[in-house]
Amino acid sequence: MATATRYMGRPLKRKEDPRLIQGLSHYVDDLRLPDMHYVVFVRSPHAHARIRSMDTSRAQTAPGVLAVLTGQDLGNAVGVIPCAAQLPEMKLALRPPLATERVLFVGEPVALVVAVDRYAARDAAELVEVEYEPLTPIVDPEKALARGAPVLHPQYSDNVAYRWELEGGDVGAAFQKADKVVRQKMVNQRLIPVALEPRAVVANYKPGENKLTVWSTTQIPHLLRTQIAAALGVPEYIVHVIAPEVGGGFGSKLNVYAEEVLVAHLAMRLGKPVKWTESRRENFQATIHGRDQIATMELAVKRDGTLLGLRCHILADLGAYYQLLTPLIPTLTGLMICGCYKIPAVRVEITGAFTNKMATDAYRGAGRPEATYFIERAIDMVAAELKKDPAEIRRKNFPKPKEFPYATPTGLIYDSANYPKSLDMALKKSGYRRLRAQQAKLRRQGRYLGIGLSTYVEICAMGPSSAMPAGGWESATVRIEPTGKVNILTGASPHGQGQETSFAQIAADLLGLEPDDIHVVHGDTAIVPYGIGTFGSRATAVGGTAVYTALVKIRDKLATIAGHILQEDPQRLVFRDKKIFLKSNPAKSVAFAEAVGAAYIAKALPAGMEPGLEATHFFEPSNFTFPFGAHVAVVEVDPETGEVHLQRYVAVDDCGNVINPLLVDGQVHGGIVQALGQAFLEEAVYDENGQLITGELTDYAIPRAWDVPRLETARTVTPSPVNPLGVKGVGEAGTIGATPALVNAVVDALAPFGVRHLDMPTKRERIWQLIRKFKPTGSRPATKRVGDGRGRRGRRKR
Amino acid sequence: MIPAAFEYHAPKSLEEALRLLSRHGNEAKILAGGHSLLPLMKLRLAAPRCVIDIGRIQALRYIREENGRIAIGALTTHTEVLESPLLRAKCPLLPQTAWEIGDVQVRNRGTVGWSLAHADPAADYPAAVLALDAELVAASVHGTRTLRAMEFFVDMLTAALLPGEILTEVRVPILPPRTGTAYRKLHQPASGYALVGAAACLTLGPGGIVERVAVGLTGVGPKAYRAVAVEKALAGKKASEKLLTGAARHAVPEHVEPLSDLQASAEYRTAMAVVFVRRALESALARAQGKPR
Amino acid sequence: MKLQGSYTLPAKREAVWQLLNDPQRLAECLPGCEQLEVVGVDHYRVRLKLGMAAISGNYTGSVKLTEKKPPAWCRMSVEGQGAAGFVQGEAKIELAGEGNQTVVRYAGEASVGGLIASVGNRMMELAARRILEQFFANLASQLRT
Ligand SMILES: Cc1cc2nc3c(=O)[nH]c(=O)nc-3n(C[C@H](O)[C@H](O)[C@H](O)COP(=O)(O)OP(=O)(O)OC[C@H]3O[C@@H](n4cnc5c(N)ncnc54)[C@H](O)[C@@H]3O)c2cc1C
């Protein structure tokens, strides 16, 4: 049976878009149930304090109030917030859903108010009186580890959450043999995920049916269901979780939050439907944060640029408590620290620290952007140190294409790659040589162009269950209705990635149908078999493969039925144009719908065949996949103001076989823009008292359309051997590859001013200071001005 | 993001609005586009007992030529300013400034009146109305009075409006020939407001002499101000790149305390004020000389 | 947030000291003070309405003189809480007589938390300074009458 690829590989427009752009889709906050009540949380304004007393009496009697609850009132009714990650000798730091004795970060909930509407709830929340005794806040992770620092969790003797080590090869020898050692401390700053749709939860309990329905904007409906059942101590079968339209997550909704569990509890406790919608302020304070690692990188190199060894120490600021995967994320950085280079000897040490901040957790890239940033910055420093072109240092240290599958000293097996090919394509497409010539010319005129490279590899398609905290497989059910229309139920829970389209493309090709004949269902635990969810760029490689394999099962069954009808060998049948026909004689055919009907009418099925047409597959991958690529960023720095203007961006990505190039481009574009946010703009700032002073979008800068030039994307295709589709995953690659390319470009632009490294975000004032303070040994570079002050709007067209 | 309860009025005429305002006094707030007031109310940083929505008073929404000046109703939106052929032809500094405000949505909603009445130290218009030496008309139940831009901005978030007054109109001059204007701005990367905004209006006399020049600065200190020392250094002299560069150095006089925040230290703001004043002057000069910029 | 400055008041040091230690008159000088209640020796509970222009909020808190050497100096601690957040501060206030005038020097540290810390960042220090200026201006006019 051959599979035609009529739809796979084509840039089909997304099936989900018409409803989204017409406002016909439904998010959690759109849900209105009769007699619905609203929750407002009372949150700590202190980073670290003991709760002396709480008085809810005035709030209790406020108009419209149904209930006011504190942690004391909850007692043991709701369990702690779960953490799925397990590391050796890790200290546990699990959070009660409402703080009772102490608060450990600004925004930690201490009480909640349920009332007839949001206004009444908000008014009453102001009447909850909490008396705090402030304690010394621990904000800086380095100080948190210092001897004598106050301890966050009194049951422990210090603020070290865990230490994790990894060693491969003879590191000592490598550093002894080295001609040069390049060392740099780098900060990968704390970021705040800003999904367009903030978190929201609605819960409704029907005592007669003993059914608890929870609508939540989540990436993991099934895992959430299990955890809600566990936290509330109810059988899992009474809990039904629905993730309707989800307006972005980026990892921030790959979690189980106190608010989700509490709202579910309230619906049962009060017997009313209950809703909570996060404000942007709460989103900033109490939804997980990302990154926040301080790394000290050391690379041992030979004079010719050959890498011999790597040492890296990472201090990860985990925040006050664990969320679902908090301690795990930095270890992904450790595993990927070698990037796409052959480094024979590696040693990584990670220290996780507790501080009075919100927990960090998985944020687009989760551990890999950090690894890629550290190694890609370090490689540029090697090039600068040895006065070699950064492209050449990279090429010199790539494993050859024939060396794949390639085993890293950190214990991973990279599945497939051709690194030189993607680098060559990126250099060619960007006109790298010409850019360097232009850079030299402009420098003489006092203008500062920077060209930044990054060649990256990342680990995704999470992943084999053996390496995952909660299962690495994914489920799919293909159910063909008697009329011949196809339902695909996927355990992956897409929220913007476009799997309704790409899975329909796979199914259309396998079954010889049109994408419109296929309906993809997700995000509802009562309909879809247990699944893991969408994160770690896994939905296509793992979820899509589950779909593919279930489709193959169904197609085999249909072929057997059609063969029986046509009296032909099923192996010689082809599915195309809504027909099943003999390859050698297309006239000998049966309509797809007729074969389907036969399975349901079941009067003339082959002997022993089950009626019906439904197949389920749980796909367990044998390995992760390792997408890779090469990016080139071109920036110009205004030496008078320190402003950075991104002029061009070229991205060559390899995510294996491509099912829909439009979706891949969309993921790459979004990823690059998010990287631009980290490289140039974003930074969650807690002041010395642990107050989050970038508490709103007025102070936390995210990228705008006018920050982004037209992105130039291209692809190489190296299929993955890990799954039959040959796909790798592309949801995070843009973010992973682009952050270092952008910063490398800025540092490259500032090279004439003696700048070797600059931490993110590359703020204007900092650049301005570096230029101003530069004391040249020779003549001072010219700082003739570039712009006319039109700044970032210069590009804006009307 | 849920405001406290408030009483809501939507008067149809200015007279009605003024009566309501005088009746409710300090308890009342005027709502124009709402882009500044509503966020404050939603955060409960502001909790007026009464909101008087003047958004429906169409009579406050106009741009027209009157007695040798251009009068702009307080409810005119930034987009209307930006697109006004009259302003573009006869007083382009205002459209040039409006162009730098927020984004399309903000410009469609926000009003000229606010930008001035709210006296946000980072708002854009104050720089322009200072450089234009505009007149601002305030009305109350007791009548109207006209203020000069120079006396309008009192302190951070404080304009020279008395309780019970509504800003109804802004009057800007029709610029003489051989005049160039420009607004140059360093955006605050998160909010888009001005970290530094410099507006320049420069008229050349015979022989390329600077006949008249005015420079307004916003974002630098607690309130917008005229850079008088810059103007003095230019007036009556022959315009040149060197002259402008030297004059711009006086952008931040002693009496201005530069703001310092997460986005820019006082030192950086001061340095950028110099850069952006120079850039604004250079563009204004080029335009006055008839060179396209 | 560090706050320091000085202000010259039109009265002798003893008169200034007396004023600062007279709860009734002090209350009249505290900007936005709606209530001041004596809860112990040199310890007051206050209710204030504070803000700038459109932004304002109610705070309740306490003022305490933790150390003093009449009429030369005292140390004061202030704390307040409201829906918009909290303020905590400590300052040393020194009085130096210069003829018929008194120079008041203050130096202290204040921290703010909650909403006003996370959204009011850019206005905070200026607002604090304005409130202090107002306070001293009120003292001056009290001393003149
Ligand atoms: C995302 C965003 C970005 C922005 N970026 C910028 C920017 O880059 N530059 C900039 O300058 N501005 C910016 N703004 C502000 C914008 O320019 C709006 O003009 C301003 O916020 C809104 O004016 P408004 O009509 O909505 O005023 P409102 O919010 O309705 O009123 C604001 C205040 O002024 C008072 N008031 C309003 N009208 C009058 C009147 N006629 N007389 C007396 N008092 C009055 C009100 O009582 C209130 O206190 C931005 C706003 C937003 C939301």
Q: Which region among A455-469, A557-571, C104-118 has the lowest average model confidence (pLDDT)?
A: C104-118
**Res. A394: pLDDT tops 80:** yes
- Label residue A385 by pLDDT band (50, 70, 90): very high
Domain match, B37 and B104 both: no
Q: Which residues pair with A360 in a beta bridge?
A: A289
B143, B173, B203 - which closes a domain:
B173
Q: What is the pLDDT of residue C51?
A: 75
| Residue A95 · residue A249 · CB < 8 Å | no
**Res. A796: pLDDT tops 50:** no
Tell whether A694 is covered by a domain: yes
pLDDT tens column, A654-673: 999 999 999 999 999 999 99
Among A385, A392, A375, residue whose Cα is nearest residue A333? A375
- Mind giving me the DSSP string for A295-347? EEEEEEE-TTS-EEEEEEEEEEEEESS--SSGGGHHHHHHHTTTTTS--SEEE
Domain match, B161 and B129 both: yes
Domain match, B21 and B76 both: no
DSSP character at residue A186: E
CATH number of the domain encompassing residue A648: 3.30.365.10
The rounded distance, in Å, linking the Cα atoms of A701 and A707 is 11
Q: What is the pLDDT of residue A217?
A: 97
The rounded distance, in Å, linking the Cα atoms of A626 and A460 is 6
Domain match, B102 and B144 both: yes
Residue A309, C-beta contacts closer than 8 angstroms, at least 6 positions apart = A169, A171, A173, A174, A175, A178, A299, A300, A343, A344, A345, A346, A347
Q: Do C113 and A689 touch (CB under 8 A)?
A: yes
Ligand 1 atom with least separation from CA of B112: 19
Domain match, B64 and B138 both: yes
How many A from CA of B29 to the centre of ligand 1? 13
DSSP character at residue A41: E
**Res. A797: pLDDT tops 60:** no
Tell whether B225 is covered by a domain: yes
How many folded domains does chain B comprise?
Answer: 3
- In the chain, the amino acid numbered B168 is T
The rounded distance, in Å, linking the Cα atoms of B245 and A652 is 45
How many Cα atoms occupy the beta-carbon half-sphere of A359 within 13 Å?
A: 27
Ligand 1 atom with least separation from CA of B29: 47
Ranges of residues in chain B with a pLDDT under 70 are 1, 292-293
| Residue A722 · residue A622 · CB < 8 Å | yes
Bridging pattern class, strands A160-168 and C2-9 = unpaired
The rounded distance, in Å, linking the Cα atoms of C61 and A548 is 66
- Nearest-by-CA chain C residue for B48: C54
Domain match, A411 and A487 both: no
Domain coverage including residue B23: 7-53
Domain match, A530 and A478 both: yes
A619, A652, A672 - which closes a domain:
A619
Which of A126, A134, A696 comes nearest C118 by C-beta? Answer: A696
Domain match, A269 and A334 both: no
Domain match, A94 and A229 both: yes
Specify the residue for token string 């979690």: A255
Tell whether A162 is covered by a domain: no
Q: Do C112 and A691 touch (CB under 8 A)?
A: yes
Domain match, B32 and B76 both: no
Question: Mean pLDDT score of chain A, rounded to an integer?
Answer: 95
Tell whether B120 is covered by a domain: yes
How many Cα atoms occupy the beta-carbon half-sphere of A138 within 13 Å?
A: 26
Domain match, A236 and A356 both: no
How many Cα atoms occupy the beta-carbon half-sphere of B198 within 13 Å?
A: 34
Domains observed in chain C: 2-144 (3.30.530.20)
**Res. C53: pLDDT tops 90:** no
Helix (H, G, I), strand (E, B) or coil at B30: strand
Mean pLDDT (whole number) for A281-306: 97
pLDDT tens column, A520-567: 999 999 999 999 999 999 999 999 999 999 999 999 999 999 999 999
Give the H/E segment covering residue C108.
strand C101-113
Q: How far is CA C74 from the centre of its chain?
A: 12
The rounded distance, in Å, linking the Cα atoms of A793 and B99 is 9
The rounded distance, in Å, linking the Cα atoms of C22 and C42 is 10
Domain match, A413 and A560 both: no
Which of A106, A284, A693 comes nearest C121 by C-beta? Answer: A693
Domain match, A629 and A761 both: yes
**Res. A373: pLDDT tops 70:** yes
**Res. A599: pLDDT tops 70:** yes
A619, A653, A671 - which closes a domain:
A619
**Res. A791: pLDDT tops 50:** no
Q: How far apart are the first and last CA of chain B?
A: 43
Tell whether A22 is covered by a domain: no
Domain match, B198 and B280 both: yes
Q: What is the pLDDT of residue B152?
A: 96
Give the H/E segment covering residue A260.
helix A258-270
Q: Residue A135: its chain C contacts at CB < 8 A?
A: none
Percentage of the residues of chain A whose pLDDT score is greater than 90: 95
Tell whether B2 is covered by a domain: no
Q: What is the pLDDT of residue A554?
A: 97
B157, B173, B189 - which closes a domain:
B173
C32 compared with B18, residue with greater pLDDT: B18
Q: What share of chain C is helix, strand, coil (3-state, %, to 5)?
A: 30, 55, 15
Q: Which two tokens stand for residue C1?
A: 């947030």
- Mind giving me the DSSP string for A526-588? TTSPP---S-TT-IIIIIIHHHHHHHHHHHHHHHHHHHHHHTS-GGGEEEETTEEEETTEEEE
Q: What is the pLDDT of residue C117?
A: 84
- Mind giving me the DSSP string for A46-85? -SSEEEEEEE-HHHHTSTTEEEEEEHHHHTTSS-PPP---
> Hey, is the C-beta of A688 within 8 angstroms of any chain B C-beta?
no
**Res. A776: pLDDT tops 90:** no
Angle value at C-alpha A737, between A732 and A739, nearest 5 degrees: 100
**Res. A353: pLDDT tops 80:** yes
Domain match, A673 and A767 both: yes
> Hey, is the C-beta of A641 within 8 angstroms of any chain B C-beta?
yes
**Res. A215: pLDDT tops 90:** yes
Contacts across the A-C interface (CB distance below 8 Å): 47
Three-state SS annotation for A138-163: CCCHHHHCCCCCCCCCCCCCCCEEEE
Domain match, A202 and A346 both: no
Domain coverage including residue A647: 290-462+623-793
Q: What is the pLDDT of residue A630?
A: 98
| Residue A186 · residue A295 · CB < 8 Å | yes
Is ligand 1 within 6 A of the CB of residue C53?
no
The rounded distance, in Å, linking the Cα atoms of A98 and A71 is 5
Domain match, A558 and A537 both: yes
Q: What is the pLDDT of residue C128?
A: 83
Tell whether A182 is covered by a domain: no
Q: Which of A53, A127, A357, A691 to mutate to test the interface with C (most CBs of C within 10 A)?
A: A691
**Res. A683: pLDDT tops 60:** yes
Tell whether B1 is covered by a domain: no
CA distance C107 to chain A (A): 19
Q: Which two tokens stand for residue A100?
A: 């009772």
Mean pLDDT (whole number) for A82-95: 93
**Res. A480: pLDDT tops 90:** yes
A579, A603, A619 - which closes a domain:
A619
Distances in whole angstroms, Cα of residue A419 to Cα of each of A489, A632, A649, B104: 36, 14, 19, 43
| Residue A402 · residue A364 · CB < 8 Å | no
Mean pLDDT (whole number) for A490-495: 92
Domain match, B29 and B96 both: no
| Residue A189 · residue A683 · CB < 8 Å | yes
Q: Which two tokens stand for residue A663?
A: 């979706």
CATH number of the domain encompassing residue A48: 3.90.1170.50
| Residue A605 · residue A591 · CB < 8 Å | no
**Res. C99: pLDDT tops 70:** yes
Among A468, A246, A460, residue whose Cα is nearest residue A365? A460
CA distance A127 to chain C (A): 9
- Label residue A783 by pLDDT band (50, 70, 90): low
| Residue A663 · residue A726 · CB < 8 Å | no
How many folded domains does chain A comprise?
Answer: 3
- Mind giving me the DSSP string for B43-110? TTS---SEEEEGGG-GGG--EEEETTEEEEETT-BHHHHHH-HHHHHH-THHHHHHTTSS-HHHHHH-
Q: Which of C79, C118, C122 to mutate to test the interface with A (most CBs of A within 10 A)?
A: C118
- Label residue A794 by pLDDT band (50, 70, 90): very low
How many Cα atoms occupy the beta-carbon half-sphere of A472 within 13 Å?
A: 19
The rounded distance, in Å, linking the Cα atoms of A364 and A731 is 8
CA distance A46 to chain C (A): 7
Is ligand 1 within 6 A of the CB of residue B33?
yes
DSSP character at residue A269: H
Please state the pTM of the whole predicted model. 0.95
Q: Do B43 and C52 touch (CB under 8 A)?
A: no
| Residue A193 · residue A252 · CB < 8 Å | yes
CA distance C54 to chain B (A): 6
Tell whether A190 is covered by a domain: no
Q: What is the ipTM of this complex?
A: 0.95
Domain match, A521 and A599 both: yes
CATH number of the domain encompassing residue B190: 3.30.390.50
Domain match, A522 and A601 both: yes
Domain match, B73 and B164 both: yes
pLDDT tens column, A233-290: 999 999 999 999 999 999 999 999 999 999 999 999 999 999 999 999 999 999 999 9
